[in-house]
Structure 1
Amino acid sequence: MGATNCPETPRQKMISMMYLVYTALLALNVSVEILQAFVTVGDSMETTNQLFSTKIENSYYNFERAYVANPEKVGANWEKAKQVRKETKDILNYIDDMKYDLVSEVEGLKGGKEEAKKILKEQGYNGIQSKDNYTKPTQYFIGGTEDGSSAKAMELRKKIEAYQAKMLNLADTRFVDRLKKMQINTKAHYKNQSGQNLNWQMYNFNNTITLADLVLLNKFKSEIQNAEFDMVNSLLSAVSADDYKFDNVRAKVVPKATYVMQGDNYEAEVFVAAYDSKTQLRADVRGANLVSDSGVIKLKFGAGAVGMQKYQGVVYVKGDKGEVPYPFSGEYFVAAPAVTISPTNMNVFYIGVDNPVSISAPGVSADQLNVSITGGGGATISKVSAGKYIVNVKTQQEAQVVVSANIGGKVVKQGDMKFRVKKIPAPKAMVGSSDGGRIAKEILVAQGQLKVVMDGFDFPVRYNVTEFQMTFNTGGDGQAPLVSRGARFTPEMISQIQRLRRGNKVYIEGIRAKGPDGDKSVQNPQMIFTIQ
């Protein structure tokens, strides 16, 4: 039976009422005339189900037309609808087959189900001789078990449950709750007149006569078809459930670029935009919250930084379930009065290192730029990314960067700039964090080496100490300098430092280091440490 809280249609209510009255009358052992009247009702249900099948097919027809018109939008739900049609057809055919099989068993027909089908088609329910037989129908549906778990009623229940589970998976999420209420409730608990608990199969098919069982099977068909009809229409409606309604149409022009240089072409796209002037939109862009005016959000940005500027945001549209976010993005170009060439570090190129340079020209994309360099002892410039370049120079000769652009197939000069070329400054030698002065000999020994730093130089340049000399003033006779061919103190140096006393001096001289521009002396040719 259907769920008791199902919002039944008038058609369903009529069928349910007829079935209840019918079964009640049967229980009272009413006259043949009354039974004959319900034969007429049973035949009418057959006709009604057939007519309703035609109505359902019209829904599928409309669905298919929508799919043909817009397969991309309708395709996913149309595939679900086709699966609903197949699964429903299978369960309805199964129930019809059960009707024919039941009549064949009760009537003892030699022609089996085919003969039963012919009788029902040509004579209707009146062609059934054993209308009030309940022994054979009960054996057919319930079998020899006490709970009807091993015969046709249980088989029918499992078929219905499997079918209804598939329908819930296929249904639009907004229709699931309604569909659950429309489906046949096979899990309900019932009681007979003596108060005994009954399951679904015992309640519906135990000790019921042939005619009652046929009417009940038709009722199941009716409930399944009714749910199928609503489900298919809900799938079709869901296709456009989230569509927006518009009351204004306006032609819009979106230019490819609003900054056009002489010799280039102006390009734009023209299309028709539809919008709802009564809907208030809001948007979050660059940290600002904007609201629409007559359905249109207007953006306004200050033109500060030069070059291509990009932005992104989210516009929120009110829907049936709240606001729906739609991300968007765009870009615009801010032009400066002249070409802009800005070195990343200084307006000087250094020999032996990569000199990063940023180059842009107003109204010209980075891909259109042609950049070259002259001077600098054979200087080179290479592109690393859009607008980013690396310059390498070899000698202290002035270098010049020249910028041109390919505009409409023509090379147009944009500007140039000259740069000075210098050597990398000499590094500074240190022991730990000190370059001389009073120091404990334990700290001097613990440091155990020299290091060089590029004090005040912005480039990531690395130098390594290649050699240095160390001498000591202990107040006695002089001694030959100790020499290290690297940054570390030699064992002889460490041994001598450990013998020093307070006030003795350590001289570190002749310090040389090697970097990207070769071997050179450090800034501080001598460091003097006094033992404390």
Structure 2
Amino acid sequence: MALSKGQLTRQKMINLMYLVFIAMLALNVSTEVLDGFVMINDNIQESIVVTDERNKQIYADIAASYETNRDKTQDSYNRAQSVKAKTDSIFDYLQYLKLEIAKKTDGADADINNLKSKDNLDASSEVMISPVGGQGKKLKKILDTYREAMVAQIPDESKRKIVSSTLSTEPSARAKKDHKDWITSSFDGMPSIAVLTFLSELQMNVKQAEGEVLNDLAKNIDLKDIRVNELSAFVVPQSNMVMKGVPYKANIIMAAVDTTQRPRIVINGKELPSEKNGLYEVGTGASGTYKFDGFIELMDRSGLPVRRNFSQEYTVMEPMATVAPFWMDVLYAGVQNMLTIAVPGVASQDVQATVVSGGTLTPSGKDWVAVPSPSLIGQKFIISVSAKVNGTQQFIARKELRIRPLPEPLAFISYTDQNGAPKVFRKGVIARSILLGTQGIKASIDDGILNIPFQVLSFRTMSVDAMGNVTPEMSSGANFSSRQIEQMRRMTRGTILIISGIKAKGPDGIERDLYPMEVRIN
């Protein structure tokens, strides 16, 4: 069981005194300092007795619960017995080491509770570090194994850190600086009384770790039952909305209720008001999957809180309706067509779609991308939709779309006006300065529905002067060639520039001849 606040304070004082005495020994203080270790050791022994009695009581409670309800208590009982065996083994081994060091210090008749040669600096080294029979490595291995076994059974992170720290075999910062490992820094050249006190502290830490594990095992089996005075029946459906062909499923349960007290409910760190009677409501401002967690707490007969944690996920979906105009069910061949595929009442991540024929279909975030094959223009693009409903994959619908070629793109000149706003020029009058400030021409489908860019491959410009003379020049890809730029520089106001022979290629890979442009220089 966890230590009380007063016991923790006392333990901290013991640890502090231990460190102070070690420091004083380093200064070769008088033998009275060594006697101080006796006082520290006596205090540790008293703490061991108190902790051990508390642990025995928990063992007794678990055993009593096991006798009355073996099915409920079997796992906790078995784990408690395993913890007891491991703890007794390492505690007895530490006691054995204390006795061996005492014998090396005062002889075969040594009394570990009344050490005579307290300042002996060789005994602990012989027992723990000697190349032949030294126990240091064995102790470190046993401590490491025990610590990991106990930490694995403690759910609370802060308590795990405490147990890991008190049973750590990592050398201190000072020891690392002096290039000493845990064994050397703990036992080499240390006074016998200091080592006995250190081993006693390890015994106390082992008992405290045992108590932490037992405390959690006891909580898991509800040693203190909760009184109830009412039984109520509840229907908990997997979903209040089901699709045709999908079975409706619900759990019918009977819950025990204590009408004399309201449980304390905390959700996401905020306590639910008691007048809500357990009803949790939260706004749904955005679609997606959300999670909430918390705990519900009641008092048992002895007035101690009994807490149970919970966690739940739910999905918020956009309000939706399917509108499918018959004459617009088309996909354009060779390009990416964005589709939204949704099933009412089902989260987007649980919706699956596959192509039966016509091209490819791949997910893209919450949407889908369909690419019909150019060789299948005029045929149908068929999609099969399924969804996971209540854990089962169900076929939902089959959708047919017509495959059409892309509409013809139009050429244009892109420029920026004096306010920095982008502009598109397709035909009419344009200033020569603006025309010379552009690099060439572009092409795209931009009919208010589609916005698909094309790659201009080449084009031809022809200037027509007032006498009707025509001067043709060829481009450099999508850009004006140097001869075309010079041609435009020579043009005067009112001169007509015809851009023709425009060839462009779209994302479908098809090369097209575009309509010419007629430009009048202003």
Q: TM-score, normalised by structure 1?
A: 0.52
In structure 2, the CA distance between the partners of 1:529 and 1:72, relative to structure 1 (3 Å rule), is: farther
Give, in angstroms, the shift of residue 463 of structure 1.
0.8
| C-alpha distance in 1 between matches for 2:463 and 2:12 | 106
Pairing 1:44-123 to 2, within 5 Å after superposition: 84-97=87-100, 105=107, 113=108, 116=109
SS of the equivalent of 2:471 reads coil
Cα offsets for 1:65-117 (capped at 9, x unmatched): 699986876899877765543342123223334555666x4xxxxxxx3xx59
Corresponding residue for residue 519 of structure 1? 511
Corresponding residue for residue 438 of structure 1? 430
Pairing 1:137-148 to 2, within 5 Å after superposition: 141=117, 148=119
Give, in angstroms, the shift of residue 265 of structure 1.
2.9
Corresponding residue for residue 329 of structure 1? 313
| C-alpha distance in 2 between matches for 1:499 and 1:451 | 23
Give, in angstroms, the shift of residue 430 of structure 1.
1.3
Q: TM-score, normalised by structure 2?
A: 0.53
| Long gaps (5+) in structure 1 | 9-47, 106-112, 126-130, 132-136, 143-147, 181-199, 206-216
Residue 427 of structure 1 pairs with residue 406 of structure 2: no
Corresponding residue for residue 32 of structure 2? none
Give, in angstroms, the shift of residue 342 of structure 1.
5.6
Cα offsets for 1:377-425 (capped at 9, x unmatched): x855746478846262767758686878799999988586776956424
In structure 2, the CA distance between the partners of 1:412 and 1:384, relative to structure 1 (3 Å rule), is: closer
Q: Which moved more, 1:239-248 or 1:404-413?
A: 404-413
SS of the equivalent of 2:469 reads coil
Residue 467 of structure 1 pairs with residue 470 of structure 2: no
8 A Cα contact 1:284 1:290, kept in partner:
no
Give, in angstroms, the shift of residue 303 of structure 1.
12
Cα offsets for 1:290-314 (capped at 9, x unmatched): 5465763345888999xxx754323
Cα offsets for 1:354-378 (capped at 9, x unmatched): 33333445578987888778xxxx8
In structure 2, the CA distance between the partners of 1:431 and 1:473, relative to structure 1 (3 Å rule), is: farther
In structure 2, the CA distance between the partners of 1:313 and 1:459, relative to structure 1 (3 Å rule), is: farther
In structure 2, the CA distance between the partners of 1:473 and 1:59, relative to structure 1 (3 Å rule), is: same
Q: Aligned-residue CA RMSD in angstroms?
A: 6.4
1:313 pairs, out of 292, 295, 306, with 292
Give, in angstroms, the shift of residue 330 of structure 1.
2.9
Pairing 1:63-462 to 2, within 5 Å after superposition: 84-97=87-100, 105=107, 113=108, 116=109, 141=117, 148=119, 150-152=121-123, 232-240=210-218, 253-270=235-252, 278-283=262-267, 291=273, 296-299=278-281, 310-317=289-296, 326-331=310-315, 340=322, 347-362=329-344, 379-380=358-359, 382=361, 384=363, 388=368, 390=370, 392=372, 397=378, 421=404, 423-432=406-415, 433-435=423-425, 437-441=429-433, 444-459=435-450, 461-462=452-453
| Long gaps (5+) in structure 2 | 1-6, 14-45, 130-134, 167-189, 299-303, 416-422
Q: Please identify the structure whose Cα radius of gyration is greater.
A: 1
Pairing 1:12-51 to 2, within 5 Å after superposition: none
Give, in angstroms, the shift of residue 174 of structure 1.
6.0
8 A Cα contact 2:87 2:207, kept in partner:
no
In structure 2, the CA distance between the partners of 1:3 and 1:56, relative to structure 1 (3 Å rule), is: closer
Give, in angstroms, the shift of residue 329 of structure 1.
0.3
Corresponding residue for residue 499 of structure 2? 508
| C-alpha distance in 1 between matches for 2:59 and 2:393 | 60
Give, in angstroms, the shift of residue 521 of structure 1.
4.2
